[in-house]
Amino acid sequence: MVSKTEELNKYLKMLMKRRYLFIVVSLVVMSVIAWGSFFLPKKYEASSTVFIEKSVIKDLVKGITFTPSVEDKVRILRYAMLSRTFVTNVLKSLDADTKVKNDKEMEGLVEDFQKRTQISIKGNDLFIVSIRDKDPKLATDYVNTLVRKYVEENVSSKRQDSFGADRFISEQLKTFKDKLDESENKIVAFRQKRGVSVGIDEALLVNDIRQYQGELDSMRIKRNELTATRDALRRQLKSIKPTTVALSSRENSSEVEMLERRLKQLSANYTDNYPEVIRIKSIIASLKKKQEPGHQADTGAKEEFSTANPVYQNLEQQLYQVEAELEAVNAKQRQLHATIGGKEHELRNVPADQKTLTDLIKERDANRQLYEQLLTRQGQAQLTKEMEVEDKATTFRVVDPAIVPMKPVSPDRVKMIIMGIIMGFVAGAASVFVMEMFDSSVKDVTSLKKLGFEVLAVIPTIFNQEEASKVAKKDRKIYLVAGCYFALICLMLTHELLGLTLIEKVLTKLGLDQFIMS
């Protein structure tokens, strides 16, 4: 098994064997990349930072005014700034259109600037506009003009929208106010012409009829109950005698007192024409008459006389009350019948103009609702207009305008030179390995034995001191030249790290700047 050390020694021997190839390929690749970086066109980047400032007043009047939100503005920002019309106007203001010959070239120029313009949004309140161009002044003027025109157009369009909305709402408000007045006049004229009958509510009439019908049904039930009670009382009265026999002695003063107390109770609730009152008065008069001296019998004599049956009288009194209640129910029932008939008559005679009045009222209510909404919107539009005029809504603030860049951002020569050095060594090593792969010569005894040949003897390398000295001298010269050239490339790297321009001046003095790619 071949160890890592042996494998490394193998590769080193390969490099030493083809060291000239390694040095030439490495330096050529390094030179192409390092020197080529000075012939690439310079690109300068100009950028401007814009802050989207949200006013505190906007939060205070939130829900009262109508202003676009910050999120809406950010969402359309990229499309608005990079629109074809907007970019064309910016280029025309910079007189860039004077450098093109026809519309096709102008179209290509606009598309080129659209592709190279970068807009990066940071959060919801900051965005950066940048572009790269070989002319630093053009890049700076383009970015500043693009941002300035967008801010101005944004403010102008918002004000135009606010004024236009206020003017439109005012016109519509006047129109709907006229319509509302016209609707009101139609309703008044219609009521005056048709009278108060058009104001009858059909649903209210139906509801009243249902209510009276319910009361009538209750009266019918109560009437049936009272009729049944009256019939029962009449049957009881037929089975009971109206009078009864009572015994009386001369000493009946206590009975007179009892009847007088009974008379006082009845007089408190009934008139003198009440039958029971009349009957008790007659009994009291009869008893008092018998107590007179001319009508007195012998001591201890007893006398029978006829008196009213109290049970019969109680039932008769209940019968009178039931008949009175029954009469009241009948009267109320007749009144309900009359009322229901009148309501039904009104319902049948509701004029067909009721529908016309309803339509007029609906039209009036619709116009009133629209008028009130427009009135509210007018106040909001006026407040929005004042906010836009006084710049109290969301505004754009250019916090970092573009300045003319002094150092190009492309090509990045430091990175290119470092990359050239790395790629040079990689390309040199790769060329050595490729040559070794395509070299079919036998390099050692082991390789020969693998081919199936028998090795009889091995002749060692004959060392020639003179030839070895020549090779060593040649190697030193090549190493010196290669080292100096590599040092020159390293000096180029240091030159760029320090930001010097000596190489560019030398190339310009030699007239090589004309070969710089455009």
**Angstrom distance (rounded) from CA 458 to CA 240:** 168
Q: Is residue 193 part of a domain?
A: no
Contact 347, 206 (CB under 8 A): yes
Are 27 and 118 found together in one domain? no
Q: Nearest-5° angle of CA 375, CA 377, CA 378?
A: 65
Residue 426 lies in a domain: yes
Q: For residue 275, what are the contacts with CB-CB under 8 A and spacing of at least 6?
A: 316
Angle of helix 353-389 relative to helix 136-194, nearest 10 degrees? 150
Residues 235 and 257 in one domain: yes
Instruction: Examine residue 30 and state whether it is found in any structural domain, yes or no.
Output: yes
| DSSP code, position 461 | P
The answer to whether 70 and 124 have CB atoms below 8 angstroms apart is yes
- Examine the domain organization and report whether 222 and 355 are in the same domain: yes
CATH of the domain at 156: 3.30.1890
Q: Is residue 380 part of a domain?
A: no
pTM above 0.95, yes or no: no
Count H helices and E strands in the chain, helices first: 16, 6
457: containing domain: 4-40+411-515
Among the listed residues 230, 208, 224, 201, the one whose alpha carbon sits nearest the alpha carbon of residue 336: 208
192 within some domain: no
Q: Are residues 140 and 215 in the same domain?
A: no
| Residue 99 and residue 129 in one domain | yes
Residue 486 CA: distances (Å) to CA of 326, 418, 426, 430, 477: 135, 12, 15, 19, 14
* Same-domain status, 445 and 472: yes
Q: Structure tokens of 195?
A: 């009278």
How far is it, in rounded angstroms, from Cα 193 to Cα 209?
Answer: 28
Do 48 and 25 reside in the same domain of the chain?
no
**70: in domain:** yes
Sign of CA dihedral 207, 209, 210, 216: positive
Residue with tokens 């941002």: 147
Taking only the tens of pLDDT, the chain with its 518 residues reads 457 787 788 788 888 888 999 999 999 999 999 998 888 888 889 999 988 766 544 444 444 444 455 455 666 778 888 889 889 999 988 888 888 888 888 999 999 999 999 988 887 778 899 999 988 999 999 999 999 888 887 766 555 555 566 677 777 878 888 888 888 888 788 777 755 455 566 677 778 888 988 888 888 888 888 888 888 888 877 877 776 655 454 445 677 777 787 778 777 777 777 767 777 777 777 777 766 665 544 444 445 555 666 667 777 778 888 888 888 888 888 898 888 887 777 666 565 656 677 778 888 888 888 888 877 777 666 655 555 555 444 577 888 899 988 888 888 889 999 999 999 999 999 999 998 888 777 666 676 677 777 777 777 767 677 887 888 899 999 999 999 999 999 999 998 898 888 888 888 888 776 666 55
Q: Are 67 and 384 in contact (CB under 8 A)?
A: yes
Give yes or no: residues 12 and 144 share one domain: no
Count of C-beta atoms within a 10 Å radius of residue 357? 17
| Pick from 3, 5, 29, 6: nearest CA to 429 | 29
Q: Which of 359, 506, 401, 350 minimizes the C-alpha distance to 129? A: 401
Residue 415 lies in a domain: yes
Asked if 428 and 31 touch (Cβ cutoff 8 Å), the reply is: no
Bridge partner residues of 122 (DSSP): 126
206: left (phi > 0), else alpha (psi -120 to 50), else beta?
alpha
Residue 190 domain-assigned? Answer: no
Two tokens at 330?
Answer: 């009948």
The verdict on whether omega for the bond into residue 310 sits within 30 degrees of 0, i.e. cis, is no
- Does residue 366 share a domain with residue 475? no
Do residues 240 and 284 both lie within one domain?
yes
> In terms of domains, do 17 and 118 share one?
no
In this structure, are 166 and 74 located in the same domain?
Answer: yes
**How many distinct structural domains can be found in the chain?**
3
